[in-house]
Structure 1
Amino acid sequence: MSEPAQAAGDDLRLLIPVLGLCGFASTFTMRLVDPLVPTLAHEFGQSVHQIAFLVTAFSGCYALGQPFLGPIADSVGKLRSIATCLAALCLLSALAAFATSFWVLLALRAAGGVMAGGVIPAAMAAIGDRAPMAERQIMLGRFLVIMIVGQMAGATFSGLLADHIGWRAVLGAASVLAGGAALLVRLALKPRPDAARARLSLAGAIASYRAVFANPRSKLLYLLVMLEGALVFGVPPFVAAILHERSGVGASEAGLAIGAMGLGGLLYGTLTRVLVERIGPRQMMRLGGLAMALGYFAFALPGPWWTAIGIFLMTGFGFFLLHGTFQAQATELAPTARGSAMALFACFFFMGHATGPLMTGTLLQFAGTQLALIVLGVGIGVLGLVTPRLLPPLGSRS
């Protein structure tokens, strides 16, 4: 093997664990509020539905920042952009740990959502720059293994820490993780010396987005991923309240249940190569939608709180079967503006993520828990079944 090829291989092997840690820090920060909703409602004298708006604020600002962060990453370099966003996220999480009112916490979480939004899309774009399409979904799956552990830890350990130390310690831990990941990116990874980067300008950003939407698949992919985000991530902010109403359990048990979605993603990440090669992306999308639908139907039935762990493990596995295929397609929408394409992908996904709690809260209020979960289950099941026909993965078999 030639020296440049060897260097590239070494860089790629190092890229996945380092960027995975960055994704870990981002998703840890993202998911940590879900099990704390009843705790924070009591702390600040707000209703559960008002506290759930913390999730909407974080996700909505994550989405709204994407049109700006994508061109910045394409221009200044994806690694530099990731490190800067993580450093800012470190500071904002530290300040949130000392918040004395709901509105201060809301503002800091919203600003944190913008900075968290500069991490994972840029990391996936960086992987897309280096990995050939034939290997890209597999490499993204490996990245997701580490990232998803962060999602799982954010939900699981936030509940445990809140019950034993306090919710402020959770935000302190998120700050330390983000700061450590920012430092590691700067020390361990080097930008590509031959990367062609356009100068940052409004005209350049518009040109990048024009290149993305020149692909006729873009609009449909972004619409579908927004719908997916709303159907999947509207439920977690209400899991703690549902389990407390059914079984009287607290944040620790809710965190374990929500964190099991990460275990499902971890299972997906370890099996990505087998799934892609033996089942194929089309069938993965169908099975993913059906698995999530079954999970929601099962959660609609009252049972011991611990059954929710298995239910959300299945739901998480189904989600990544569908979402992992969406991600791989998004990396190929505009190879010359990959950072912008992935930023828009994240923007639409988190627009759905942000509106999901509002939609689910309304359904829960007017239809009740069981009917609301059945409606959401039907919706995500239909999405998984029709998507392979509407947007067949490139080069896949049926």
Structure 2
Amino acid sequence: MPPMLVAISLDLGIPLSAAVQAAGAYFLAYGVMQPVWGVVSDRVGRVRTLRLTLLLAGLASIGSAFVATPLLLGISRAVAGGFFGAAYPSTLIYVGDTVPLGVRQPAIARLMVGVALGAALASAGAGLLADVTSWRLGFVATGGAALVLVVILRRLPEPEQPDGPRPTPLAMLGAVARSRVTLFVLALSFVEGMVLLGTLTVLPPASEAAGATSTLAGLLTGVYGVSVYLSSRMVRTVSMRRHPAWLLGGGSLVLVVSMLLLALSQGPFAAAGAALLVGVAWVSMHSTLQTWATEVLPGARATVISLFAGALFAGSALTAALVAAPAEAGRYDLIFLAGAAIAVPLGVAATWGRWRWRNPSPGQRAAGTSDD
């Protein structure tokens, strides 16, 4: 949606801030509903939850193409985001259920590559459609792809679930609330969403304000996906040889540099360079935080992962709400400077916390608790 924000505002005759707020409604619903879908997937199965929500999300996304007012746009995007919100935690929990701990971070890094390449393709395609035809076709294409996935995922097997009675959702939430390290990781995810995902939301309209077309803005954002793909091998190598804190520290440093670059200029070359750096930061930081989230409270993994993903996109939604007015005024330099200021304590806290943390003992794993 970000590469189409300017086109949407022009076509509907609304301020850019209103289009940004519609994107924020999508991200907010996407984030808020993820813990709900985590609980649902525990009860009815990962794959079944994924297929049902993709069906409803696809229909809602197609419906977004036919709105004529900013209110209906915000509502339709929120509905689509709420159902699409099941995809991220269900997929990540599936990896946690089926991939051994020793090779889980490389597997999650590969998953992030797929997500990033999909985002790059969608970003470039959305910008091209907004320029050549209509932004409405972007929503139709997204919805159609979701419906195709509903059919394809029929072949995906459900992961095996442990025998015996399952803890209630309230018991799982109680375990999370009692684990200080889990709450710490969730807070890091929220702030990461503010900076990393918030940047990807603001970057296309910022580059368009600097003179880029919608197509070029989409392609510039697509550089991020290429960067994730190219840097993932490096991150997998480092993750096997170094402590995860190295990836968090290095990734946060790269993130700060990208924010400062965008604060200086939002022109095509600066935007492409920043997108390249954000891709490196995403693979380094996010895959490490995600792997950490699968480890901190093994007995409540599905709940933790859902809350982690929800916090990530809730942070992104907050950024969309906070930057709507500055973006309308064209003050993108202040937006990215604020991002750099937030990225510094994020990197310090994440690096320090991961360096101090140690895996739970076998007894704690069985009990669903962790060291704090």
| TM-score between the two structures when normalised by the length of structure 1 | 0.84
Q: Deviations over 1:320-377 (max 9, x none)?
A: 2111111001112332332211111111111101001222345557893324322311
Given the superposition, is the C-alpha separation of residues 369 and 101 from structure 1 closer, same or farther in structure 2, using an over 3 Å criterion?
Answer: closer
| 3-state SS, counterpart of residue 172 of structure 2 | helix
Correspondence for 1:260 among 223, 228, 245: 223
Query: 1:94 & 1:244 partners in 2: Cα distance?
Result: 26
Moved more, 39-48 or 64-73: 64-73
Aligned amino acid, residue 75 of structure 2:
A
Query: 1:197 & 1:252 partners in 2: Cα distance?
Result: 54
> How much does 1:191 deviate?
1.5
State the partner residue of 2:14: 46
Query: 1:174 & 1:284 partners in 2: Cα distance?
Result: 33
Correspondence for 1:283 among 228, 246, 249: 246
Aligned amino acid, residue 172 of structure 2:
S
Correspondence for 1:387 among 350, 361, 367: 350
Q: Deviations over 1:212-255 (max 9, x none)?
A: 33332111111111111112233333333332332x22211111
Correspondence for 1:189 among 156, 169, 180: 156
| 3-state SS, counterpart of residue 324 of structure 1 | helix
Kindly report which structure 2 residues correspond to 1:165-180, keeping only aligned pairs within 5 A, or say none: 165-180=133-148
Correspondence for 1:315 among 272, 278, 281: 278
Contact 1:296 1:373 (8 Å CA) reproduced: yes
Contact 1:234 1:358 (8 Å CA) reproduced: no
Correspondence for 1:352 among 301, 315, 318: 315
Contact 2:182 2:297 (8 Å CA) reproduced: no
Given the superposition, is the C-alpha separation of residues 341 and 43 from structure 1 closer, same or farther in structure 2, using an over 3 Å criterion?
Answer: same
Contact 2:17 2:327 (8 Å CA) reproduced: no
State the partner residue of 2:207: 243
Given the superposition, is the C-alpha separation of residues 235 and 194 from structure 1 closer, same or farther in structure 2, using an over 3 Å criterion?
Answer: closer
State the partner residue of 2:50: 82
Given the superposition, is the C-alpha separation of residues 343 and 249 from structure 1 closer, same or farther in structure 2, using an over 3 Å criterion?
Answer: same
1:71 has 2:35 as partner? no
1:269 has 2:236 as partner? no
Structure 1 unaligned spans of 5+: 1-32
> How much does 1:114 deviate?
0.9
| TM-score between the two structures when normalised by the length of structure 2 | 0.90
> How much does 1:193 deviate?
4.8
State the partner residue of 2:26: 58
Correspondence for 1:143 among 111, 124, 133: 111
Kindly report which structure 2 residues correspond to 1:223-242, keeping only aligned pairs within 5 A, or say none: 223-242=187-206
Query: 2:341 & 2:185 partners in 1: Cα distance?
Result: 20
Structure 2 unaligned spans of 5+: 360-372
Contact 1:86 1:179 (8 Å CA) reproduced: yes
CA RMSD of aligned residues (A): 2.2
Given the superposition, is the C-alpha separation of residues 197 and 140 from structure 1 closer, same or farther in structure 2, using an over 3 Å criterion?
Answer: farther
Contact 2:207 2:266 (8 Å CA) reproduced: no
1:218 has 2:182 as partner? yes
Kindly report which structure 2 residues correspond to 1:93-172, keeping only aligned pairs within 5 A, or say none: 93-172=61-140
Contact 2:109 2:283 (8 Å CA) reproduced: no
Contact 1:74 1:339 (8 Å CA) reproduced: yes
> How much does 1:79 deviate?
1.3
Q: Deviations over 1:289-338 (max 9, x none)?
A: 11111111112223742431122111121122111111001112332332
Correspondence for 1:300 among 263, 277, 284: 263
Contact 1:217 1:391 (8 Å CA) reproduced: no
Query: 1:250 & 1:69 partners in 2: Cα distance?
Result: 37
Given the superposition, is the C-alpha separation of residues 367 and 277 from structure 1 closer, same or farther in structure 2, using an over 3 Å criterion?
Answer: same
Correspondence for 2:299 among 323, 336, 345: 336
| 3-state SS, counterpart of residue 46 of structure 1 | coil
> How much does 1:394 deviate?
4.8
Contact 1:86 1:119 (8 Å CA) reproduced: yes
Given the superposition, is the C-alpha separation of residues 63 and 393 from structure 1 closer, same or farther in structure 2, using an over 3 Å criterion?
Answer: farther
Aligned amino acid, residue 322 of structure 1:
M
State the partner residue of 1:14: none
State the partner residue of 2:364: none
State the partner residue of 1:372: 335
The count of corresponding residues between Structure 1 and Structure 2 is 359
Given the superposition, is the C-alpha separation of residues 302 and 273 from structure 1 closer, same or farther in structure 2, using an over 3 Å criterion?
Answer: closer
State the partner residue of 1:26: none
Query: 2:104 & 2:72 partners in 1: Cα distance?
Result: 41
Q: Deviations over 1:113-139 (max 9, x none)?
A: 111111111111111111121111111
